[in-house]
Structure 1
Amino acid sequence: MDRRHSMYQWLRDNPFKVDTVVMIGLLLLLGPVYLVAGRPELFLLSCSLVVPLAWRRTRPVEAAAVMTVICLIQWALGIEPVAGQIAVPLIIYAVSAYGPAWASKSVLILGMVGGIMLTTRTFSGSAETGVLGLTIGSLYTVLIWMLVLFSWTLGDLTRVRRLQLQALQDRARRLEIEHRQERSLAAADERSHIAREMHDIVAHSLSVIITQADGGRYAAAVEPAAATKALETIAATGRTSLAEMRRLLGVLRSDDAATTRPLPGLNDLDELFLGMRAAGLPLQFSLRGQARRPLPAGAELTAYRFFQEGLTNVLKHAGPDARAEASMTWSAKGLELEIHDDGRGAGADPPQSPGNGLRGMGERVALYDGTLAAGPASGGGFTVSALIPYTEA
């Protein structure tokens, strides 16, 4: 089956070679007859009609033009039809199948007119006259027309099939390109999602660990119990982060062993706040209003990551003895989130390079048609607020 397909593919990809072989075969079949009969002029005429068939698919218009000129010369000189005349219906088929539309219509008209011209010349010098001669001539013309119409119709059907196959191939190629683009976009979106999750987990956990490690180092000499508590917090934070990292990386696994632990949501905020307080951040939280409708799991994850990233930034950048206030308000528009601290603000201790925290928070909120605002507070400190509407619920 593969060999047959390869042979068919080669025949389709090499039309000139195939047509040249067919042309040579016709020459060998038709030419020697006239040489044996001692009619070299008819041999040359027959060969001149057959030779253009080598270009019937690669240059169908030029081949048809050459053959038309030869037929007109033959008609003008009154030379009788030869065996090479079989090339005429073949070239009509080729132009109809592989030539432009105007050439296809032209060869059809020329074939019809040529049938009348041939009949007229053939029966003008014939002994048959009157009604009988007219009847025979008309029948001869009709037969030629049927041959021309058959060749042209077969070529036109071949053209339609070829165009349909080409359209299907183009459509398959476009679908393949679109599929590759969709896979690339999906992969980029997944990479962005994983990057946000990795940042939220690693930045929060490392900030808590660094803060506790610094505090424990200074407290070890004065208050060993505080150092022990700091080490316990570091261990607990490390275990939680390790579990979160395994859960996140488990999504990338293709086997059934990947964990299906649910993503954190609003119900996990208490645990998050306890961890922040244990890390040494004085924190007050207030909840106002009630939800008009539940938010999807993705929106709850966005709210959780908002508080996680915002409080981590307070822990990292607000300075010593900074206090934080977090609030969550259910309004008519959606869920309003806010974090305010009384620390050093955005002007102190600027980062060496742009961070991904606020940008990641903005991307998460934007996924649910929300808005994010961040900047120094009027009375000092820094404020980050976000609104997650009900549109995705």
Structure 2
Amino acid sequence: MTPHRSLDKWIRQNPHKVDLILGLGIWLVFGLLAGIMLGVSGNGWQLAILGTVQTLPLIWRRRHPGLAAGIIVLAHLIQVAVTDELLPSQIAVPITVYSLAAYGRRWQSFAGLAAGFVGALLASIRVGSWSAGSSPEGAVRNFIGLGLLVLVAWTFGDLARTRRLTLQTLEDRARRLEIEREQERALAAADERSHIAREMHDIVAHSLSVIITQSDGARYASEHDPGIARETLATISQTGRSSLREMRRLLGVLRSDEEASTRPLPALVDVPELLDATRMSGLAINFAQVGTARRELPAGAELTVYRAMQEALTNVLKHAGPEAAAGVTLRWDNRGLQLLVSDNGRGAGALGSSASGQGLRGMAERVALYEGDVEAGPTPGGGFRVSVFIPYTED
């Protein structure tokens, strides 16, 4: 970093130290100078005191601009009353007007401008009345010169105030944007975690349910019919491999691996394959499709229906009990697609959509993304029923 940039950075980071150095410098050079150079008439100590009061408050010009300006204005009024000399300490006047415009309140800024004009007028009249051969034209010229000096100082101070407030506004906006970006990042991460949890539950829960059911059947069948046991073990192997492929695909997406599997996500065309895989677990399934689609569903909505059917069939395998049968219906109408999955088992232990299970809760979250609804609960005649409805997307 270059020296002037380092100095500029230090000045911006230490404004009060800068004011202290500036105020002491002006006091030493222009305040005491009055007593040293003008003390030949015998009143040097009085002028030194007056110069000190006029310049030393500049130390607080930024921290307490109103108080510092009040002391300086009072000192200059005293000067107008006791002497007609122009003191070097009067350099504090434009600095005070600038400081009020830049750092004071708005009313203090205009009050400083008005006080500067009044002081210029009083100084012009005072100097003109004590000067030999003075004329009104000379007093007017003095007033115009001093007034322009006050006006220029106030203008630069007001511009500095506007720039400072603009920078503060931009910094506040940047800070708010950063906070909002962090919040959006956290919300996106939480949403992605929920999505991953739903995907992993749907994949693992269904596959493990099939594997457990087939394993139990193979254990009993191995004692009576080894052929059935071999078929059952083949089903377990196929289900495990399919689940492993799905897990690898999901983990590949999480790793952002360019070589991750590009296998498409399940959709409605994959429903027959899901039903066949579930039937291999020994569950009798009656499938029916009623009506035709009036318009296409988004790919995400088709995945939601697939996962909802997968979760409902998994619950049948886990909770319906032995020798249960399930019915699956896809019904298209003019409003959207409705999925019905019911069984004649034990009612899934009265499990409802408000229960704490991850499966039905994840199903409800998925469906809610497409403004659909889920109803799940035991049926009066025994068994369990899941109803999922997803409306068509508005064009």
Give the structure-2-normalised TM-score: 0.94
1:357 deviates by: 1.0
Which residue of structure 2 lines up, in the alignment, with residue 374 of structure 1? Answer: 376
> In 1, distance between residues paired with 2:252 and 2:75?
78
Counterpart in the other structure of 2:216: 214
Could you list the per-position Cα deviations for residues 262-286 of structure 1 after superposition, in whole angstroms to 9, with x for gaps in the alignment? 1000011111000000011011100
Change (3 A) 1:319 1:116: same
| Structure 1 range deviating more: 195-204 or 20-29 | 20-29
In the alignment, does 2:28 pair up with 1:20?
no
1:284 to 268, 283, 286: 286
**What are the Cα deviations for residues 320-370 of structure 1, in whole angstroms up to 9, with x where unaligned?**
0000010101111101100110001144799xx831111111111111111
Give deviations 1:359-392, integer Å, cap 9, x for gaps.
Answer: 1111111111111111112322111111111025
The farther-off stretch of 269-278 and 29-38 is 29-38
1:29 counterpart = 2:29: yes
Deviation track 1:166-221 (CA, whole Å, cap 9, x = no partner) reads 11101111111111111111111111110000000000000000011111111111
Q: What is the CA deviation profile of residues 63-120 of structure 1, one whole-angstrom value per residue up to 9, with x for unaligned ones?
A: 1011011111111223522100001100110110011101000000001111111111
Match of 1:124 among 126, 129, 139: 129
Matches within 5 A, 1:1-393: 1=1, 5-30=5-30, 31-32=32-33, 34-38=35-39, 39-128=44-133, 133-347=135-349, 354-391=356-393
Structure 1 residues 246, 6: closer, same or farther in 2, change over 3 A? farther
Distance 2:300 2:339 in 1: 16
How far apart are residue 47 of structure 1 and its match?
2.2
Check the 8 A contact 2:84/2:126 in 1, yes or no.
no
Give the match's secondary structure for 1:293. Answer: coil
The answer to which of 66-75 and 202-211 deviates more is 66-75
Q: Which runs of 5+ in 2 are unaligned?
A: none
Conserved in 1, the CA contact under 8 Å of 2:34 and 2:87?
no
Instruction: Determine if contact 1:15/1:58 at 8 Å carries over to the other structure.
Output: no
Secondary structure class of the residue paired with 2:263 = coil
- After superposition, the CA RMSD in angstroms is 1.8
* Distance change (3 Å), C-alpha of 1:103 and 1:326: same
**Preserved contact between residue 108 and residue 149 of structure 1 (Cα < 8 Å):** yes
What's the CA shift for 1:21? 1.1
| Matched residue SS, 2:241 | helix
What is the letter of the counterpart of residue 41 of structure 1? Q
CA deviations on 1:280-332 (whole Å, 9 max, x unpaired) are 10111001111011111101001100110000100000000000010101111
Alignment check: 8 A CA contact 2:53 2:75 kept: yes
Show CA shifts across 1:129-179 (max 9, x none).
6xxx01111010000100000000000000000011111101111111111
SS of residue paired to 2:340 = strand
Alignment TM-score, normalising by the size of structure 1: 0.95
**Percent of aligned pairs with the same residue?**
54
Letter of the structure 1 residue corresponding to residue 35 of structure 2: Y
| CA positional deviation for 1:33 | 6.0
1:25 to partner: Cα distance: 2.1
The one-letter code of the counterpart of 2:21 is V
Following TM superposition, by how much is the alpha carbon of 1:34 offset from its aligned partner in structure 2, in angstroms?
3.4
Please tell me the residue identity of whatever aligns with 2:266. P
Letter in 2 for 1:94: S
State the one-letter code of the partner of 1:76: A
Give the ranges of 4+ consecutive aligned residues of structure 1 lying more than 4 Å apart after TM superposition.
2-6
Count matched residues: 388
Q: Structure 1: how far apart are the matches of 2:117 and 2:351?
A: 92
The letter for the 1-side match of 2:50 is: L
Assess, with a 3 A threshold, how the Cα gap between structure 1 residues 2 and 311 changes in structure 2: closer, same or farther.
farther
Hey, what's the Cα distance between the residues in 1 that align with 2:379 and 2:22?
Answer: 88
Q: Which runs of 5+ in 1 are unaligned?
A: none
Task: Say if 1:250 and 1:258, in contact at 8 Å, map to a contact too.
Answer: yes
State the alpha-carbon separation in 2 of the partners of residues 349 and 123 from structure 1: 101
- Aligned-pair distance for 1:127? 2.9
CA distance in 2, matches of 1:299, 1:146: 73
